[in-house]
Structure 1
Amino acid sequence: MTHTVQAKETLFSIAKKYSTNVDQLIKINGLKSNNLFIGQVIKIDFPTPVAPTPTPPAANISVFAQRNVFQVKKENKGSFNNYVLTFPTPNGTVSTGIMRDNYPSTNLANPKGVSYIGQSLFQTNTPLFSDLCQQPFYIDLLHYIAKNEGCFDAINSYDKAIFSFGFIQFTGGLASGSMLTRVLQRFKTKDEYAFNDCFGKYGMNIQNYKTPLFQVETTTGIKEGDAAYLEVANNLPLTTAFIASGFRRSMIRSQVEIALEEYVLKALSPTQMIVINGVNIALNQILRTQGGFALRVDLCVNRGLGGSLIVLKKAIEQVVAESGVTDLSRINEKRVVEIVAQNDVEAWKKQRVLKIIDSGFSFLK
């Protein structure tokens, strides 16, 4: 990726920002000195991970023994349990975290499942993926959604999605779209070494049949698909392996790539049409402010593209009926957000939609 030099920036500050070093920047840019000028474009090259020395065949360790690197300590809290987890990070340090089971949610389906908001923050990792966003506003959109979901290492394994992971909570369950399998497939395709280091050596894999399929090795054989995700949900060392992967640069980028492709670009596509009172019209002619875009993407993440269009059609037609507006491009988009929230029967969905109004997104046409 590249970086455009801003006022008061130095090679040292730029190197620190991207977790590289001055010598590396000088080398790949062919610089003759440390002097920079405003507007200068600097190439950024992230250090390539160095593969560890292979273990001799005679000393091979089973995938089950490998999982012992993830330590989980149970703490009974009465109506639920906390789990203190310890795991290695890509930079060679050891990190800790706390997850809990029996989460107090109306969507609770698996009391053994855990909730973990994560520590791999969106804003901290932005320099690792900003080049993927075609418009700076897309970063703001994804950041807003992440505030409602979690970090790049967040976990939810208590609801009907079976196992959800990442800053947008990509779901594993087939009935919920199995978008997590797409993320894992992208991760493996982009950086197979890192994928094997995070998952392969612990007995987890992605097989590419007609569609990608998640697999996990157990003492009774290989489990696939929903059964594999349920195995991870109920096996805390395997769950912790996912958490550790959320600190990998290539995993973070894979999450962002899939989020952009499957949610942002599809929801905001200029070819996306909607029928309002019998008239087929481009949605971009109706909801075209920052707030309108945020509503469209957030609904797409939570209800899928088809489900979001049903919700939007109903709300837009209600606003048209109450306001009498004939030019749909002049519709009050903030009012559309309010109506979407009003039409929801679940309190948490109402509150999530209404947050868009207080998020700082503009509704000015």
Structure 2
Amino acid sequence: MKIVIFGLTISSSWGNGHATLWRGLVGALVRRGWDVVFFERDVPYYAGARDLHAIDGGELILFDDWAGVRQQASRSLRDADIAIVTSYCPEAVSAAELIAETPRALKIFYDLDTPVTLAAFAEGEPPSYIGPRGLADFDLVLSYTGGEALTGLVERLGARRAVPLYGHVDPRVHRPAPPRAEFAGDLSYLGTYAADRQDGVQRFLIEPARLRPDARFIIGGAQYPAEFPWTDNVFFVRHLPPQDHPAFFSSSRLTLNVTRRAMADMGWCPSGRLFEAAACGAPLISDVWPGISDFFTPGDEILLARTSEDVLAALDRSPEDLARIAGRARERVLTEHTSDHRAAEFERLIASAPRIEQPLTEEA
């Protein structure tokens, strides 16, 4: 079968969480025999940090503007079985209009930012990637977030059917690796700067760093402002490409997950970083949100933090204890949360996705 995707980016992992997820899912689909075409606008900030130039077994089409690529996109859609538009795709509305003219393809919107999308509508500022008809013209809406977010997609945005397709990890890319001195630390955090994550970063990393001046804390990511509250024992590693993630996760005693506020409030929002770190054998500590226990067992596969003191207590655990937690988390991920698992789940979802008229939500 053939799938055509109009997305934010697959070619650059700089400053976004979409690229790594798409690489894992597309790679798994290609291995399962799919013909995949990915359309991506060639913008300067991704071009300057491009860490993927071709899709192995698929086709990556970079373009400067929609007018110049529309005819090629139309040709590609003629024999497509599945057509997907994603959140934050710069040409999402135009692509959706083109897909609507393609009767053969199953039409899917994949929202990788559902709580952010719903929050924008609630504030009266609909995001640019959703048109005036909302999601009513798609046969199926996939959501990176489950729980009440699914109901919001149906009731507020008119989705006919909304189901979760959660994050995942490609264990071919993310696996235990030899530690590297430049990433060594007691607590690490890998993530793009986001204002609505800053309270969590402050509470779970900056404050523990202040209270433990002899410990070493590592932040990796992009878009951190000059006024970020650095301390002498917090070290920064500018944007890391995915091939360096395993060494980053494998070099610290403990790694931190902090969830964007809108996502944490809705719950059922496992970050791809959680699965990546676990697959690399890193002990995990995370902020708390509804549904986290559906993905990892607290205290057994993951540690949870509500206060700075919870992080300090986790840092005081023995190496043996942290290794046991890390081993169980890795086993859970390899059993349930790989890109191959999500590709198989995607196939099941589209196989049972008739073009329906009545709204329906489903929990995974």
Range of TM-score over shorter length: under 0.3
> Comparing both chains, which one has the higher relative contact order based on Cα–Cα distances under 8 Å and sequence gaps of 6 or more?
2
Computing the radius of gyration over CA atoms, which structure comes out larger, 1 or 2? 1
More helix by share: 1
TM-score by length of 1: 0.26
